[in-house]
Chains A and B, each alone.
Chain A
């Protein structure tokens, strides 16, 4: 009985609190601070663990030193980010003061008016030296709202032993690449069941894009203030024909799968090549190299074994940027990465701009590069280093391209139109018909 009564009091108390918290909600202290002190706090939302602790600490320390105010970094998950931004950015109370956002999400929020105008700051923060595709994604007309934060590019990983056994060389043109995939699959030197020359699942449109772009095609083009799907253009069709050939002869990956975890079949020996962001190097785990170290074992011996394992994996795995039409040029691949912006609702615009100055400083950009991320400022990308991964990433990234900067592009991805389309191509559909239908759907969605 007593428990129940207490519960009742508590529940009713909760309700009362709900009712009167209206009055207490307006907390003081968020007014734009002319002179900042340590009590003034601004919040930065970073997604996932790409910005590591060293980078975060640098931002916190530098921000405190330069402004005297406090920087709070809150890590958000990429999963579910959109609903969070959709709600939090509309609230003056809750909005972060600086926010990282996926590059394909940037146009939607930029066009909706979620971000403050950074046009005046643009030149100071790097101007033309910044990754232009990302700048475009964050712009409306001549105004810039979201700037690039970092980029990552896809490169092709391959199994050196399988290449040698099949007598295949690293391809130097896109055509050679397709041929290599087909040759590898036919050779299947280890006699593996359901072997793929190139792991290319049916819904993996990110990895199919280079063929469209290299042949001069596009996903969608702007005509006046309207967008139109461009998969039916002769250039796109040429690329799609090649893609279908690759699907038919160069891969045995399931048609009902997407680009997730392509290293799994690679590790299992069921694929000779896969394409992924360069961080996938840490996921390569070939059985012949595995030392069986427990994941939570942090002893020196375990770490030594781990280093040995990684070295073994990397010695057996090669990486190259997807080649373009001409020998010696990298293909235009899809750029992953993120933008960074100041939400309109933030009440600390000036401090937020200070933080951007720190982020776009040469020091921080160099640190990003040293941590394997392609920095916004392309002049400083050389800090990536000169190992094969950095070189492959850099070659791919400098020519990388984003999805069309249409306001509603995120809806195309939300409706998974391209996943569906590529799946049809993989299933042997008539390319012209499928493209015409999808072009129509894209146009309906974008306009």
Chain B
């Protein structure tokens, strides 16, 4: 089954040539505080900055240690993972665990399922949340406030036991073992978060820009899609990151919805490596987890810059 990939891959490219870049947004303040905080005179400040920089790097190293341990373990045979003296550097490591992952045909199959589910979820969730965010920030109507509060409250309800009724619902519609079924419950889970987020971004874009476009002969819809929409790219990317992680890593719903072994998502595949009635090859599990993390990390690094600016736009403008 084919499906669109994550929308943010096409994010930057979708901006029409004539549309203003996000940087051209009339911002309330010009120089950000962070820059101002850094602009401090005197050599003493510079030394302090280097010391702070060192501190930041040390903290980063401490923070990343568990991830380092995962990657390091993925290069070791399982019998060297838990020994009286830990192996800190896999200098004589092996690629066998990674070869095992890549030669497992179910890895590729699960990868495809995950991409499809994540892709559809992301597109649908972002689009729906975006429209809702537009409604609550650009329109005024009865029930608007209730809607916003409801969206927040929905996130507060513990959902540990919810999978049973969600399953019954999907089953009655014949959507079990179906990408769309899983997507539906994912979208439902992700949209409330995303509405809250996008609402800030939409509100942050002055409606005057659209009005100017309409003066130039665009229809209202045209003005919106040609002018406002591209400005939201960072916001959409930022929301996309949350949605991506959510759908990419979800386990419980996938577990009950995708029972057909050929329709497993990556988290199910990874969990499947953890054996119950024989020894688990933890080196392979770590290699598998690393391979699952790679797309996430690549995606993160790829959008990192945009996400930061996206968060900025939504954060204080409201």
Hey, which bits of chain A sit against chain B, CB under 8 A? 1-4, 6-8, 10-11, 14-15, 17-18, 21-22, 24-27, 47-50, 74-80, 83-84, 86-88, 90-91, 93-94, 152, 193, 261, 263-264, 267-268, 270, 277, 279-280, 282-283, 285, 290, 294-297, 336
Q: How far is the CB of B227 from chain A (nearest CB, A)?
A: 12
B308 at the A/B interface (Cβ < 8 Å)?
Answer: no
How far, in angstroms, from A17 to B272 measured CA to CA in the complex? 31
- Residue pair A88, B259 in contact (C-beta under 8 Å): yes
Residues of the B chain whose Cβ atoms lie less than 8 Å from the Cβ of A263: 279
Residues of the A chain whose Cβ atoms lie less than 8 Å from the Cβ of B279: 261, 263, 280, 282-283
Q: Is the interface of B mostly helix, strand, loop or mixed?
A: helix
Q: How far is the CB of A236 from chain B (nearest CB, A)?
A: 28
Residues of the A chain whose Cβ atoms lie less than 8 Å from the Cβ of B163: 83, 87
Q: A49-B277, A75-B261, A282-B279 are in contact. List 20 more A-B contacts (CB 8 A).
A: A3-B7, A10-B123, A10-B124, A18-B173, A22-B173, A26-B174, A27-B174, A48-B278, A76-B259, A80-B251, A87-B163, A87-B164, A90-B168, A152-B277, A261-B82, A267-B79, A268-B82, A283-B279, A296-B99, A297-B96
- Residue pair A4, B120 in contact (C-beta under 8 Å): no
How far, in angstroms, from A363 to B64 measured CA to CA in the complex? 56
Q: How far is the CB of A405 from chain B (nearest CB, A)?
A: 22
Residues of the B chain whose Cβ atoms lie less than 8 Å from the Cβ of A50: 277
Which residue in chain B gives the minimum CB-CB distance to A287? B79
- Residue pair A3, B14 in contact (C-beta under 8 Å): yes
Could you say which of A18, A74, A78 contacts B261, with CB atoms under 8 Å apart? A74
- Residue pair B127, A268 in contact (C-beta under 8 Å): no
B295 at the A/B interface (Cβ < 8 Å)?
Answer: no
Q: How far is the CB of B224 from chain A (nearest CB, A)?
A: 11
How far, in angstroms, from A18 to B120 measured CA to CA in the complex? 14
Which residue in chain A gives the minimum CB-CB distance to B280? A261
Residues of the A chain whose Cβ atoms lie less than 8 Å from the Cβ of B127: 4, 7-8, 11
Which residue in chain A gives the minimum CB-CB distance to B181? A18
Residues of the A chain whose Cβ atoms lie less than 8 Å from the Cβ of B259: 74, 76, 84, 88, 94
- Residue pair A290, B100 in contact (C-beta under 8 Å): no
B271 at the A/B interface (Cβ < 8 Å)?
Answer: yes
Given A11-B124, A83-B255, A93-B174, answer yes or no on A17-B277 (Cβ-Cβ < 8 Å): no
Residues of the A chain whose Cβ atoms lie less than 8 Å from the Cβ of B99: 296
Given A21-B175, A83-B252, answer yes or no on A3-B96 (Cβ-Cβ < 8 Å): no
Q: How far is the CB of B16 from chain A (nearest CB, A)?
A: 6
Could you say which of B16, B171, B184 contacts A18, with CB atoms under 8 Å apart? B184
Residues of the A chain whose Cβ atoms lie less than 8 Å from the Cβ of B124: 7, 10-11, 14-15
- Residue pair A296, B256 in contact (C-beta under 8 Å): no
Which residue in chain B gives the minimum CB-CB distance to A88? B259
B98-123 contact mask (Cβ, 8 Å, vs A): 1 or 0: 01100100000000000000001001
How far, in angstroms, from A280 to B278 measured CA to CA in the complex? 7
Which residue in chain A gives the minimum CB-CB distance to B183? A14
- Which of A49, A88, A193 counts the most B-chain CB atoms under 10 A from its CB? A88
- Which of B4, B79, B120 counts the most A-chain CB atoms under 10 A from its CB? B79
User: Can you list 18 A-B contacts (CB < 8 A)?
Assistant: A1-B14, A1-B225, A2-B14, A3-B4, A4-B225, A6-B4, A7-B4, A7-B123, A18-B184, A50-B277, A77-B272, A78-B276, A79-B272, A79-B274, A84-B255, A193-B84, A282-B279, A290-B79
Q: How far is the CB of B162 from chain A (nearest CB, A)?
A: 12
- Residue pair B256, A4 in contact (C-beta under 8 Å): no
B189-229 contact mask (Cβ, 8 Å, vs A): 1 or 0: 00000000000000000000000000000000000011001
- Residue pair B255, A74 in contact (C-beta under 8 Å): no
Which residue in chain A gives the minimum CB-CB distance to B10? A3
Q: How far is the CB of A102 from chain B (nearest CB, A)?
A: 9
- Residue pair A80, B255 in contact (C-beta under 8 Å): yes
- Residue pair B167, A48 in contact (C-beta under 8 Å): no
Residues of the B chain whose Cβ atoms lie less than 8 Å from the Cβ of A90: 168, 171
Which residue in chain B gives the minimum CB-CB distance to A45? B259
B97 at the A/B interface (Cβ < 8 Å)?
Answer: yes
B94 at the A/B interface (Cβ < 8 Å)?
Answer: yes
Residues of the A chain whose Cβ atoms lie less than 8 Å from the Cβ of B225: 1, 4
How far, in angstroms, from A171 to B277 measured CA to CA in the complex? 27
B83 at the A/B interface (Cβ < 8 Å)?
Answer: yes
State which residues 151-191 of B face A: CB under 8 Å.
163-164, 167-168, 171-177, 180, 183-184
- Residue pair A295, B100 in contact (C-beta under 8 Å): yes
B20 at the A/B interface (Cβ < 8 Å)?
Answer: no
Given A18-B184, A93-B174, answer yes or no on A87-B100 (Cβ-Cβ < 8 Å): no
